[in-house]
Amino acid sequence: MPTYPENPNNLEITASSRNPTDPPDPARPTDPPHPARPARPARPARPQTVLLTGASGVLGTALLPYLHLRHHHVIALTHRRPLSSGAEVLAGDVTRPRLGLDVASYRHLCARTDAVVHAAGMVAFGSGRASMHAVNVEGAGRVARFAADAGVPLIHVSTAYVARYREILAAGGNRAERAGNSPADYVASKTAGEEAVAAAGGKVTVVRPSIIIGDSVTGEIAEPQGLHIFAQQVLRNRLPFVPSDPASYVDFVPQDVVARAIVSLLDDGAHPAEHWLSGGAHALTCDRLVQVIVEEAAEAGIAVRPLRVLAPDVVERLVRPAFFDVVPEWAQTRLDRLLDMSSVLFNEKPLPSSLTDVPGIGAAAGVRANEDAWRASVRRLIADRLGARASA
């Protein structure tokens, strides 16, 4: 298993003059102002034919409009979910030899493709090790071998949490037998997926986003992710406490920022490199993240009870022995899942970040930009909730 240094300045792609492991600068007004949307990179010399996996997923649906905006022709390799985006659709399966294609179709696809963006992945913690391995490891390796066979660059989407695999394991992210979820299994599969991609050879750019949230302006997202589920539980007053340190970091990145970063790297030639797409030292603290939820709820007329913040080890040593024998099974399962999610959501130290190294994306890297993006996602959750009530 590869090791990931805590100091990203030791990586192939470094994070300019600011060390992402430094504490955030408390002088927030010094953060540069940011526009509603990051500046667009220059148009590429020519449109490319891009093979995109995971086109119907959260990141894929965010990527498609930007690829079309750059006049790229997209071939969307789809397996189960239907796709209605204007892309050319090709039925396939990343877990099968030749991506599920016959020999002639595989060779024809190799001849047509100019670049590959591999955004498919199994992200549900409860999917099980076998499913995660099939998609995140074997699938990643097969897509990388296709790119090598075609002689084209590959942009492989991993996760920033490969930097914290051992911490997640030590924090209890392997309690799959309790809640049916295992963040550690997910991160292990993404780490092994990177190894499989490297073993295939070829020209590879690895991008490692942290938790993906909704669009930085509208908050829209194809499917709620772990942080959205946490916010929904807070809004519904279903959490008795938050298992975290108030000063811990909660790292996320808006889906449109990840999409723009990938398209920018593609247009720049997709040079072999590693890019950490995360907030890093500019990530919100747990305390501020929850406070934004409370503020936006109050603005919408929703009363949210004050939440206590308890360290996960305190929950394990004191709360579980005292109360688990008298609470229903569904409540135990909910708490176990929250504890498992906390091993990923809340970080004692900032994640590595090289977001500012990506052309045209630097304005999305500040504290203000992160808070504004989180507000947009929370507002979207609240609007969806109120809309559902109105139509009920």
The answer, yes or no, to whether residue 115 has pLDDT greater than 50, is: yes
- Domain tally for the chain? 1
Q: What is the pLDDT of residue 136?
A: 94
Domain-embedded: residue 333: yes
Helix spans in 201-254 (H): 226-235
Domain-embedded: residue 18: no
Helix (H, G, I), strand (E, B) or coil at 90: strand
Helix (H, G, I), strand (E, B) or coil at 168: helix
What residue has token string 């924090």?
171
CB atoms within 10 A of CB 18: 16
- pLDDT bracket for residue 32 (50, 70, 90): very low
pLDDT tens digits for 297-348? 999 999 998 887 777 677 667 766 666 666 677 666 666 666 666 767 788 8
Domain-embedded: residue 214: yes
CATH number for the domain that contains residue 373: 3.40.50.720
Q: How many helices (H) and strands (E) does the chain have?
A: 14, 13
Q: What is the pTM of this model?
A: 0.82
Give the least confident one: 159-168, 211-220, 275-284, 287-296. Answer: 159-168
Q: Residues 159, 187: contact at Cβ < 8 Å? A: yes
What residue has token string 């990051």?
38
How far, rounded to the nearest angstrom, does the alpha carbon of residue 257 sit from its chain's CA centroid? 11
Q: What is the pLDDT of residue 340?
A: 65
How confident is the model over 270-282, as a mean pLDDT? 95
Taking every pair of Cα atoms in the chain, the longest distance, rounded to a whole number of angstroms, is 66
Beta bridge partners of 297: none
Residue 187 lies in domain: 46-391
Domain-embedded: residue 28: no
How confident is the model over 158-185, as a mean pLDDT? 71
Domain-embedded: residue 286: yes
How confident is the model over 33-62, as a mean pLDDT? 72
The answer, yes or no, to whether residue 367 has pLDDT greater than 60, is: yes
Exposure string over 112-137, b if 16+ CB within 10 A, otherwise e: ebbbbbbbbbbbebebeeeebbbbbb
Greatest mean pLDDT among 70-79, 82-91, 318-327: 70-79
Domain-embedded: residue 361: yes
Structure tokens at 233: 């539980």
Closest-CA residue to 223 (of 297, 121, 147): 121
Domain-embedded: residue 178: yes
Q: What is the pLDDT of residue 185?
A: 84
Residue 381 backbone zone (phi > 0: left; psi -120 to 50: alpha; other: beta): alpha
Q: What is the pLDDT of residue 224?
A: 87
CB atoms within 10 A of CB 10: 10
The answer, yes or no, to whether residue 109 has pLDDT greater than 90, is: yes
Exposed, middle or buried, 12 (CB in 10 Å: 0-12/13-18/19+)? exposed
Q: What is the pLDDT of residue 26?
A: 37
Output the average pLDDT for the chain.
82
Give whole-number Cα distances, 281 to 8, 46, 222, 348, in Å. Answer: 12, 37, 28, 11
Domain-embedded: residue 40: no
pLDDT tens digits for 96-108? 999 999 999 999 9
Q: What is the pLDDT of residue 79?
A: 82
